[in-house]
Amino acid sequence: MRTARIREPGYYHIVSRVVDRRMVLDTKEKERFRRTLRAVEGFSGCQILTYAILDNHFHVLLYVPARAEVPDELFLDRLSHLYPPPVLHTLAQALQTRRAEGQHASAETLKAAYTYRMCDLSEFMKTLKQRVTQSFNRRHGRKGTLWEERFKSILVEGRPGALATLAAYIDLNAVRAHIVADPKEYRFCGYAEAVAGVASARAGLVRVLGAPDGRPWAQVAAEYRQLVYQAGTARGLRGDGRPIRPGIAPEEVRRVLAEGGELPLSDLLRCRVRYFTDGLALGSQTYVDEVFQRYRARFGAQRRTGARPMRYGFAGLCTARRLRLDVITLSTA
């Protein structure tokens, strides 16, 4: 039986893969996906902190706020991200008429047919995946879902250390896959969007770092880049200034871990790390213990504590699940 998903307000790392892990998301499909992703963000009231779209899967670091009243003007603005003008015009007229006639309960009922999908992790993903599937199927003459099983999600503590570590891991996906040597060169990730000047992408990374309002983007960019790409020059440079090797050598990973050593954080983030997808909750010991207590019924009766320290150099970070095998692997994900 499937375990119910955690759906409380907070930060989530989400991963979903194409059915059979087929490599079907080419450049044009990724661009359509990116536009749909931003449209669903605008509709949902959630915030994308960063993301990465690869050939057969995608990652999103998402902030899901608590539900709150949605005024009519904001309601119509959110709908404008997903629905065409004729639909918006009809809804706007219906709301205006009901308000003018004092039928406020009826107006709220009309809005509720849409607002239940806002500020909700599962509804965000349902809307995104359905719209991408429908669009893809129309162009390729196929039927059925495009996606493999349920999406994975892990609840993340909303402090800069945990968020920044996960964000960097996501933005380095194209580097791990040997698509680019520098993540800013991969246009289908949040970091590259932010470097290109996209305001929503920059706002996401500002939140990742817990930067105060009004802090210059140049400072935020420099701080985040130090974490994301500090390993680049450690591999040596070609004559044109590009790194000799975009990813850490597998034999080096195996050697260091077999000897019980710790890889630098920048190198760890260039590996596939199952903690970031299978740990249930990720953050400080205090945070994970609190999550454990809120969801105590999901764990075995013999379990007494929640936090399990992450191995291999993730100092201070814990997960709610102890992953015993293949925590760090060298395949892309």
CATH of the domain at 190: 3.30.70.1290
- 201 and 108 inside one domain: no
The span from the CA of 288 to the CA of 37, in Å, is 29
The span from the CA of 14 to the CA of 248, in Å, is 24
The span from the CA of 48 to the CA of 170, in Å, is 12
DSSP state of 79: H
Q: Answer whether residue 2 is part of any domain.
A: no
The span from the CA of 191 to the CA of 42, in Å, is 19
If one counts every other C-beta atom within 10 angstroms of the C-beta of residue 233, the result is 10
Give yes or no for residue 269 having a pLDDT over 90.
Answer: no
pLDDT at 231: 46
For residues 245-251, average pLDDT: 60
| Angle between helix 160-171 and 199-208 (nearest 10) | 130
For residues 96-112, average pLDDT: 97
Higher pLDDT, 265 or 25: 25
Q: Answer whether residue 23 is part of any domain.
A: yes
pLDDT tens-digit series, residues 14-50: 999 999 989 999 999 999 999 999 999 999 999 999 9
How many folded domains does the chain comprise?
A: 2
- 146 and 28 inside one domain: yes
Q: Answer whether residue 83 is part of any domain.
A: yes
Which segments of 84-149 does DSSP mark as H helices, in order? 85-100, 104-115, 121-140
- The H or E element containing residue 29 is helix 27-44
pLDDT at 240: 58
How remote is the C-alpha of 135 from its chain's centroid?
A: 21
If one counts every other C-beta atom within 10 angstroms of the C-beta of residue 261, the result is 10
State the amino acid at position 152 in one-letter form.
Answer: K
- For the chain, counts of helices (H) and of strands (E): 14, 9
What mean pLDDT, rounded, does the chain reach? 88
Confidence of residue 54 (pLDDT cuts 50, 70, 90): very high
Query: Per the structure block, which two tokens stand in for 81?
Result: 């991200």
pLDDT at 233: 40
- 232 and 305 inside one domain: yes
pLDDT tens-digit series, residues 147-195: 998 899 999 999 988 999 999 999 999 988 889 888 999 999 999 999 9
Helix (H, G, I), strand (E, B) or coil at 75: helix
pLDDT at 166: 95
pLDDT at 239: 54
Percent of the chain with pLDDT over 90: 65
Give yes or no for residue 249 having a pLDDT over 90.
Answer: no
Across-strand partners of 12?
62, 155
- 309 and 235 inside one domain: yes
- 82 and 210 inside one domain: no
User: What range defines the domain where residue 105 resides?
Assistant: 72-115
